[in-house]
Structure 1
Amino acid sequence: MGIIGVLCTAILLLAGLAWCGVLVATAGGVDGVFNVEDYGALGDGTTDDTKAFVDAWAAACDATGSSATLLVPAAKSFLVGLIRFNGPCASTRITVQVMGTITAPPASAWSEKKNHWLMFYLVDGLTVTGNSTGLLDGRGQTWWVDKCKADNDDCVVKAPTALVVMNCTDVELSQFSSKDSPQMHIGLSISGKVNVTQLTITAPEDSPNTDGVHVDRSEDVHITGSTIGTGDDCISIGPGSRFVTVDGIVCGPGHGVSVGSLGREGANVTVEYIDVINVQFINTTNGARIKTWQGGGGYAKSISFTNINFTNVDHPVIIDQFYEDQGHVSHKGAVALSNITYTNLNGTSTEKTAVDFYCSQSGSCTDIHVNSVAITAADGGRTVARCQNAQVDTSGYVYPKIPCGANAPAPSPDNGK
């Protein structure tokens, strides 16, 4: 064979060993991929795979490389119960790659009263992503049949939000689908620097409390390029939220994009710097909505709705400060709304009242700007705007005309919640 042959063979063997070492590392070590099947998940849709997911997460979270991935393989359905994926994790970035389906147990199988199904807690540098087949199936039909809502104490357990991100930073949720959550689909709470993009979220129009994305006590949140159709708000922005951008959303069916509800049970709240841009509302109950409870305190300010299109929307533009008791004008306290801007709003309304500013008392709705609005009736008739206690200025072409004078008539309480 000769010395050259021996050397070549030795080099090939060493190279092979090195390559095997790389494979071992990527299969479950530093910078590794942690496949839930390697931890016992069957993915047959009926076997409980919860423990396998918990164990795979623990291994991925403990990995000490620059990144780690928990892999949910394609073409399989994994039955998974309530889980809290706890951080902090050792790696700089941890990814959950959802290629298959993660399915929730039916309502009858839940024994604990929890407000979430899948929760990520105290994780910094988190990505949850997928592809065209990645799906969270909340099996909400098993809850809705008994009208199990979050505020219904007659339920055996309270309906959970499908995916909750809490106390996390530097988060990306992208390129997966969520359908039929028992309650809200995605909840972002006490978190920062969150990017939600290219999601598809669906639930029947009559499903209760199935908001697409709910934000509370979070900041620097971007929700973009997604299609959302549910039985409640496509996106809801709750107390303590600031610097939230909603851009490029198709919403319908649903109750629109809502800031609120705010001030429930007299709560003192703050919301500011909210931008809603390039949204299409199609066959929704509401469009651009701000809703507050009577008796609340605090403020919501610097909110803008820009480049909005309405197609057959019942209530395209609405401020409702009588969310608790519509139709009864109260002089109790209210969340102060100010610096609210509407620019380039177009489309059709199914109700005659296309713009509705319904504020609780003088001084609670100030500095409202309406620029370039054209909302006509879906049936070809005329539309109107109604005001109560709202300080509004207009510019450009605005139709319907907004009569926000001192003697403007109050709107009738026909707004859907």
Structure 2
Amino acid sequence: MRMAKINPKDDTILLLIAIFILSASLGTCYGREGKHWRHSEACQFKKGQGHRGGHRHHCQHHNRLSPKVNGDGYTVPQDTMTSLAGSSGRTTTFNVLDYGAKGDGHADDTKAFEAAWAAACQVAASTLVVPSGSVFMVKPISFSGPNCKPGIVFQLDGKIIAPTSSQAWGSGLLQWIEFTKLTKIKIKGKGTIDGQGSVWWNDSATVYPTDELDSVSSTAQNSTISSTDMISTNLSKMPSTKPTALRFYGSSDVAVNGITIQNSPQTHLKFDSCTDVQVFGVTISSPGDSPNTDGIHLQNSQNVLIYSTDIACGDDCVSIQTGCSNVYIHNVNCGPGHGISIGGLGKDNTKACVSNVTIRDTIITGTLTGVRIKTWQGGSGSVQDIMFSNIQVSEVHTPIMIDQFYCDQEKCKNETAAVAISGINYMNIKGTYTVQPVHFACSDSLPCIGVSLTSIELKSVQGSHLYDPFCWETYGELKTTSEPPISCLQKGKPSNLPSQLVPC
């Protein structure tokens, strides 16, 4: 019997029909089971084929758990430990936008920051991201350990602003943003922390929402506010306690790099009871007439390095307080402000100890003082082994100062006890002044000893001396000729120096 000839085209058509029927059958099965074939089975199939790189990343992206929206409106992922990349099974990057932050400069993003921190805190060497292009309004917040893993990076590329509502601050707080009891914590980036301090400096009324209607007089005085905002606002002054913008407490291996801190209600950046601190490439900025807005404040902290930083503020550019040792500051631009200061120390008869401080290669412009040591009468302890070197001053009221009679009140009583000052070295201090080149006012009962001056060249802006260099109970050595001549320094040591001092 003769077989019919098979047409290849017919075979192709039959094969296509069979594939179509089989595909439809499989699709129906998965559809009835309620499975998302494209996002689950397809990804498993691709990974089974050994595909890497883009396919694996694509599958992981689609397998992320859906976020859960809480009643307060903030979005929190159901499992913050879900893998985003890599083989460790844990993500190392936590973006505040993924936790419900709006970043519009108006919505309260505090809870989103707290949620992102809680997640990052559980992963060593993780990164919390505050992305660029957004403005985040954050109320007073504490990023705290000690149960956090070490090595967390706070990547600040966007802008964080403080609330200007008195309601947000209650009766007053000592700090706005705080990092406490952490190890190897780093804040870096090109972003900004803005304390919006003008509402505090001016001691002016601030508008905040309330259930009560404004009085006619209040709305009349605030005609620039929109009629919608006027309906539910009330005027109230900010609390008398002004917060520090950014504070680190009880932490080790701390680094702050690249960010800008501006317009703090009070001190901009504070380190309290910290060790191994680095600050570099930072910009600190507030108006010269903003009250008590120190740039960087150090207290009870050791092994501190500050460099390549610009500071403009309304008080001390750097303030070094009791309990600080091994502090090295160089290549800092300071001004406006009150200069770089050690103290005031010994207030209210307290003991204060500062040692081994070097400040060099620094430019100080248009400030109240240049490099200063200030102590209160009645204190105890010591300031010793201090070096001020290669300081360029320009139009500074008093470039070099030691003041053991410091008082920021209307009246302070005279006391015999004092913080001992010894081993203070000034080398290569040059530039211009507007009031007095050198002012040394030391204690009658505990004079300053070991004060040395080398290569001092200070010229009056006016071309003539308003006040000559002044020394009171100051002992040391003028190692080179100076301009103007500093002839008031006493040689050797005083005869009435106590044999025993309060140890540090």
Q: Same fold (TM over 0.5)?
A: yes
Residue 333 (1) aligns with residue 417 (2): yes
Deviation at 1:214, TM superposition (A): 0.1
Residue 208 (structure 1) aligned with residue 265 (structure 2): no
Q: In the alignment, residue 131 of structure 2 is paired with which amino acid?
A: P
2:197 to 136, 140, 158: 140
Structure 2 vs 1, CA of residues 113 and 214 (structure 1 numbering), >3 Å: closer, same or farther?
same
2:426 is matched with: 342
C-alpha separation in 2, matches of 1:95 and 1:306:
34
Q: Residues 329 and 360 of structure 1 are in contact (CA less than 8 Å); yes or no, is this contact kept in structure 2?
A: no
Moved more, 299-308 or 80-89: 80-89
Letter of the 1:249 counterpart: V
CA contact (8 A) 1:240 1:271 kept: yes
Q: State the 1:9 CA deviation.
A: 8.4
Q: 1:28 to 1:86 in 2, by over 3 A?
A: farther
Q: 1:30 to 1:404 in 2, by over 3 A?
A: farther
Matched, 1:57 2:120: no
CA distance in 1: counterparts of 2:299 and 2:349, whole angstroms: 17
Give a deviation string over 1:259-299, Cα, whole Å, max 9, x none. Answer: 00100001011110011011101111110000011111111
C-alpha deviation, 1:122, in angstroms = 0.5
- Identify the residue that residue 413 of structure 1 maps to in structure 2: none
Q: CA deviation at 1:226?
A: 0.5
Is it true that 1:114 corresponds to 2:173 in the alignment?
yes
Quote the Cα distance in structure 1 between the aligned partners of 2:153 and 2:88: 14
Q: Are 2:361 and 1:278 equivalent residues in the alignment? A: yes
TM-score (norm 2): 0.73
- Picking from 292, 295, 299, the partner of 2:382 is 299
Structure possessing the higher radius of gyration over alpha carbons: 2
Within the candidate set 361, 377, 385, 2:460 is matched to: 377
Q: Is the 8 A contact 1:174 1:196 kept in 2?
A: yes
Query: 2:56 maps to what in 1?
Result: 17
> C-alpha displacement at 1:253, in angstroms?
0.2
Equivalent-residue separation in structure 1 for 2:87 and 2:267 (angstroms): 35
Is the Cα contact below 8 Å between 1:35 and 1:56 reproduced in 2?
A: yes
Q: Do the aligned residues in 2 keep the contact of 1:213 with 1:235 (CA within 8 Å)?
A: yes
Change (3 A) 1:195 1:14: closer
In the alignment, is the contact (CA less than 8 A) between 1:341 and 1:368 conserved in 2? yes
**Would the aligned equivalents of 1:217 and 1:238 in 2 still touch at CA under 8 Å?**
yes
- Counterpart position of 2:483: 399
Tell me whether 1:127 sits opposite 2:186 in the alignment: yes
Which residue does 2:322 correspond to in 1?
239
1:3 corresponds to: none
82-91 vs 278-287, which moves further = 82-91
1:26 positional shift: 6.5
Written as runs of structure 1 = structure 2, the 5 A alignment for 1:220-239 is 220-239=303-322
Q: Distance in 2 between matches of 1:14 and 1:221?
A: 43
Q: Distance in 1 between matches of 2:273 and 2:194?
A: 25
Kindly tell me: are residues 316 and 7 of structure 1, through their superposed partners in 2, closer, same or farther at Cα, counting changes over 3 Å?
Answer: closer
Q: Residue by residue, what CA displacement relative to the aligned partner does 1:143-169 show, whole Å, maximum 9, x if unpaired?
A: 111189xxxxx9635100000000000
Where does residue 143 of structure 2 map in the other structure? 85
2:100 paired with 1:40:
yes
Q: Deviations over 1:42-98 (max 9, x none)?
A: 0000000000000100100012xx410000010110000011101135533100011
- The CA distance in 2 between the partners of 1:135 and 1:147, in whole Å, is 25
Question: How many Å apart are 1:402 and its aligned residue?
Answer: 1.9
- The residue that corresponds to 1:184 in the other structure is 267
User: Would the alpha carbon gap of residues 20 and 354 (structure 1) be closer, same or farther in structure 2, given more than 3 Å must change?
Assistant: farther
**2:437 alignment partner, SS class:** strand
Aligned length: 392
Q: Is the 8 A contact 2:477 2:489 kept in 1?
A: no
| Contact 2:417 2:445 (8 Å CA) reproduced | no
Which of 144, 161, 173 matches 1:103? 161
- Are the counterparts in 1 of residues 417 and 446 from structure 2 also a CA contact under 8 Å? no
Q: Partners in 1 of 2:269 and 2:91 — Cα distance?
A: 28
| Contact 2:418-2:446 within 8 A present in 1 as well | no
TM-score, normalised by the number of residues in structure 1: 0.88
* Cα contact 2:304–2:327 (8 A) shared by 1: yes
Give the superposition deviation at 1:401: 2.0
How far apart, CA to CA, are the structure 2 residues paired with 1:12 and 1:194? 46
Contact persistence 1:335–1:364 (CA under 8 A): no
Aligned to 1:415: none
Deviation at 1:330, TM superposition (A): 3.9
Take 2:311 and 2:87, find their aligned partners in 1: how far apart are those partners?
36
| Paired residue secondary structure (2:153) | strand
**In 2, are the aligned partners of 1:374 and 1:397 still within 8 Å (CA)?**
no
Q: Is the 8 A contact 2:405 2:442 kept in 1?
A: yes
- Give the number of the structure with larger relative contact order, counting CA–CA contacts within 8 Å between residues 6 or more apart: 1
Distance in 1 between residues matched to 2:46 and 2:100, nearest whole Å: 43
Matches within 5 A, 1:246-261: 246-261=329-344
Describe the shift of the 1:11–1:280 C-alpha distance in structure 2 as closer, same or farther (beyond 3 A): same
After alignment, is 369-378 or 394-403 more displaced? 394-403
Which of 184, 198, 209 lines up with 2:281 in the alignment? 198
Structure 2 letter corresponding to 1:111: G
Residues 280-338 of structure 1: CA distance to partner in whole angstroms, max 9, x if unpaired?
Answer: 01111110000011111111111110000010000100001111279989452111000
* Secondary structure of residue in 1 paired with 2:200: helix
- Going from structure 1 to structure 2, the CA distance change for 1:323 and 1:14 (only over 3 Å counts) comes to closer
SS of corresponding position for 1:106: coil
- Richer in strand (by share): 1
Change (3 A) 1:400 1:27: farther
Aligned partner letter, 1:389: E
How many angstroms does 1:399 deviate by? 1.9
Gaps of at least 5 residues in structure 2 are 1-44, 62-82, 206-236, 492-504
